[in-house]
A and B are shown apart, each in its own frame.
Chain A
Amino acid sequence: MALGILKSRKGEGPSLSGTLWKLGALGVTDAVAVTMIMVLIAQELVLAAAISIAVLLLVNWIYLRKGGLPAKYLAPGVLFLIIFQVYVLVFSGYTAFTNYGSAHNGDKALAIQTIKNAAFRTVEGPDYTIKIAKANDDGARAFIMTSNLTNEVFVGEDGKLPVQVPEGSFVRSTECADKYDEDVANCAKAAESVDGYTTQNIESLSQLEKNKFASIRVATDLTNDNVGVRSSDFTIAVPTEATLKYDEAADTFTALVSDDYGAYTQGDVFKPASDGYFRLDGVLENAKLDGGWRVEVGLANFETIFTDEQLRAPLFKVITWTFVFAILTVLTTFILGLFIALTFNSDKLKGKKIYRAVMILPYAFPGFLSAYVWVGLLNRENGFFNTVILGQTPGSEGNFPWLLEENPARLAVLLVNLWLGFPYMFLITTGALQSIPPELNEAAEIDGATGWQNFRLIKLPLLLISITPLLIASFAYNFNNFTIIYLLTKGGPSDSGITDYDVGGTDILITFVYKIAFSGTGQNYGLASAFSILIFIVVATISLISFKRTKKFEEIV
């Protein structure tokens, strides 16, 4: 048998097929990792590349060496734990102490580039349609410039005034200077080539060459180095003036001119300020240049949470509702689940299995689907609830506004969550009820206890021992039950008074935080991370206290 040949005898270490499998898997992993590392190196992400190499070597060492079996089992798990849990936690923890957000979304180099990109203004003077060329004698880079105003032709070199080319020493193109002018017969035509220069083809130039052409400044005023005709697209050259100059050594921007819009005056020096902007003299209250970067801001985000007046009222409201929502959800689902479990636990009931199966359905359906179905059912004009159950006029604006006003929306959220959540409670209470010895029940009956006494004094305490931890878990889960809120109401209706935070009537903390982090009104990842840390603290504290109490409870019983 082929398999038999591949298998080695017992005691001689791993089988050959096992080794081949191992090597194959390791080879694929290595190949993917090496490709990844090469990409990282190509993008000059040194740290990421170094970490990847270290991990790669470690993985190979773990699997190629003899022995060390536990590590072989644990390595993938630990690796993914680090990537998907530890890293995420550390990163959001770190983000809470930064101003990462819409206007501070990158590193300082990006901000400097942004400021440099906008550090010019167009000035009065003719603009040109250009071709790029090199002088035949000394190879100097130049623009062949055709004025869009007078149609005269010039040659311009870096730092020099443009030199007019006499008629006959240049050749005009047969196409319109303005590519999108459709009147080819009468349109202005730009010079294509000039005697003594070789026109260059933009597409065939290297990046370095392009950058050199892009840095050409044809002077218009020999006494002012800031002004000149420049081009970044090699089709059009426009007279511009540099407005800000970056000094790399000092890490400052200096205003070369006064801004037309009053953003700065000539001679102003902008230094990096502690909030991730270049500000006048580096002072926080002063004017800034557009272009921010991510910096660490210490406890500023936490300070905002506790001191921002715009935030106070909505936050108080959101916190209250979060607790109400989580507690009521746990209570209602538990009570309904328990009630049904007790009913279906009765020996007299026939067809229990079918009933139980039906009861599980809401739990078996994917929650996403149910939530969307519920949105339709609760529609004001034509929803099933209003038109059939409440018998209101189909299509009427006066129907009950289930998801459109605050209190009805809160009720709707609780109802839908009850629908989604009671089967779970029903399941676990059924299980717990069945584990209560029937003798206790019988003993109570013999002692003359009523059904209610039996339930209250015997069953419930026994149930709670095993179920309380699950109730706490359910509370913690619902405290952060993003899905149901977001799918049903998106936190809305957005009707919680007038504040500059986007907060709605059914927003719980986690959806509120989501809006701060991701909604279109200006992302603030730092503040959102700070919030999530606080949420974690709240949930952890409550869970800890509750678990301790359960333990005591257990000891008493």
Chain B
Amino acid sequence: MKNRTRKLVGLVAALSVVGSGLSLANPASAVTNLTIWADKGTLDTIKSRVQKWDTDNAAYTVTIVERDFGTVREVLKTAVPKGQGPDILAGAAHDWIGNLVAANVLLPIDANLPANFKDDFVPGALQAMKYNGKYYGVPGWTENIAILRNIKKAPKPAKSVNDIKDGELGINYDATNSDPYHMYPFQSMFTAPVFKTYTTGANKGDWSNEVGMGGANGAKFAKWLATKGTKFFGPPSNAKILCDFLNPTKTTTVKGKKVTTGAIKYWVTGAWNINAIESGAGGCKTGLKVGTGYAIDPLPTGPTGTKAQQFLGIRGYLMVASGPNNTTNVPGAVELMRFMSSESTQFSLYDNFNKTPANKAALNSAKANPVIKGFADAANTVPMPNSPAMAAAWTIWGKAQTRIIQGKEKKPDVAWADMVKALQATIDKTK
């Protein structure tokens, strides 16, 4: 074969391949595609309701993509500038909002919410979705902690924290990073709020950027933590607390050493552990029933009688900014978000997945369930702060608590003051 013919064959071949490449670029479909990112657990929870909305709204097709929420914030921050973000981030904790807003990721939806929408939710729930005066999402379900009590071991609620003896309290905290979320009720007993609140202006009552847990009250709390130590705050493993809480007190001898199990009478935890308690998981075969086996009590008061507060955590649907062409997807995304925050959806999520509704009407119906009622009645909540520095705050704050509990700080009050200083420095960096 001559060279020219060979080249011609090549050209034809190449052109035909190019042609098939061209046909890949098909025209856009008439249906608007909406994308939701959700964590594995959340995906199962919201799936059927999202599918219902999808079926009811022919103009939209919704895709739920599973994302690991451990790393989803980093992914979002790189995806959104490239126009590859989703429309909605579902099941996100509301304390992410400030951090994501500062990273150009979220879109405010104030202008998409009718005025009366704001009355649909329990106090604090919609406020939690607000950052710098704007709403960036709608509430999905609420989470708060209370104190669970094994009725057989402790027939009466602990009124004061002084009523709880060493070894009787179960609290989840990770031995390295602690858990300021679960520890906050104890901190609030000393009137040491994490941030100061604005006292005047439109944002009156909102958290400010000034750390409020320093000063004399913070020092008192730090010293109290140190005296309580690991004897009071422990043990750290969740599975162990469960068994210990469920089982009657028993002393056995293992390899010549006396080991006491079942000493835990009280457990500071949230509704997410109720299933495990009622069915008995992790080697503890028998569960307890609410009302007869265990009770849900309000948190005890502090050593000096101060009422404890816990954080209100909101899992919500956040509106992700999708670049300059917001008009394409925003209408559908807003519709879907309102559907997910409606009474019927929130009741359905309670009914099927035990999620405490943020929607007032749905919550009232759900209160027929003693567990939901118990947690709602035990609530004396403040919304978790959602400033951009929150992610860093949890780490520094928790680290200081752990070191103090474990007795690693000889002067707990000084360590606490150092932590407040370091935290304020981190927050000021974002100014």
A residues apposed to B, CB below 8 Å: 13, 16, 19-20, 23-24, 26-28, 30-32, 34-35, 38-39, 42, 64, 102-103, 105-107, 110-111, 113-114, 117-118, 120-122, 126-127, 129, 148-149, 178-180, 182, 202-204, 207, 210-211, 213-214, 230-236, 238, 240, 259-263, 287-288, 290-292, 310, 381, 391, 393-397, 404, 492-495, 497-500, 502, 504, 518, 520-523
Contact = CB atoms under 8 A, between A and B. Distances in A.
B214 interface: no
Given A103-B102, A210-B328, A498 B132 contact: no
Interface residues of B, number: 94
A23 B10 contact: yes
A176 B400 CA distance: 54
A455 B133 CA distance: 76
A72 to B, nearest CB: 15
Nearest to B237: A381
Contacts of B73: 520
B402 A495 contact: yes
A20 B7 CA distance: 10
Interface of B: 1, 3, 6-7, 9-10, 13-14, 16-18, 20-22, 24-25, 30, 32, 59, 70-71, 73-74, 77-78, 80-81, 99, 101-104, 107-108, 110-116, 132-134, 175-177, 201-203, 234-235, 237, 240, 254-255, 257, 259, 321, 323-328, 330-331, 334-335, 338-339, 342-344, 388-389, 391-392, 395-396, 399-400, 402-403, 408, 415, 418-419, 422-423, 425-426, 430-431
A30 B12 CA distance: 13
Contacts of B396: 498-500
A492 B257 CA distance: 31
Given A118-B134, A207-B328, A393-B259, A495 B1 contact: no
Given A30-B14, A233-B112, 7 more contacts: A32-B21, A34-B18, A117-B107, A213-B327, A292-B102, A394-B254, A498-B403
A495 B399 contact: yes
Contact of A203 (B32, B77, B259, B389): B32
B71 to A, nearest CB: 8
19 contacts: A34-B22, A39-B25, A105-B81, A110-B104, A113-B321, A117-B107, A121-B110, A121-B133, A122-B110, A148-B114, A148-B115, A182-B344, A233-B112, A234-B331, A260-B201, A492-B176, A498-B400, A498-B422, A500-B425
| Interface of A: prevailing SS | loop
A413 B188 CA distance: 39
Given A233-B335, A290-B101, A381-B237, A23 B9 contact: yes
Among B16, B115, B419, residue most surrounded by chain A Cβ atoms (within 10 Å): B115
Contacts of B431: 287-288
A180 B203 contact: no
B80 A495 contact: no
Contact of A404 (B110, B114, B176, B335): B176
B324 A113 contact: yes
Given A64-B10, A235-B334, A103 B18 contact: no
A19 B2 CA distance: 12
B108 A494 contact: no
A253 B133 CA distance: 19
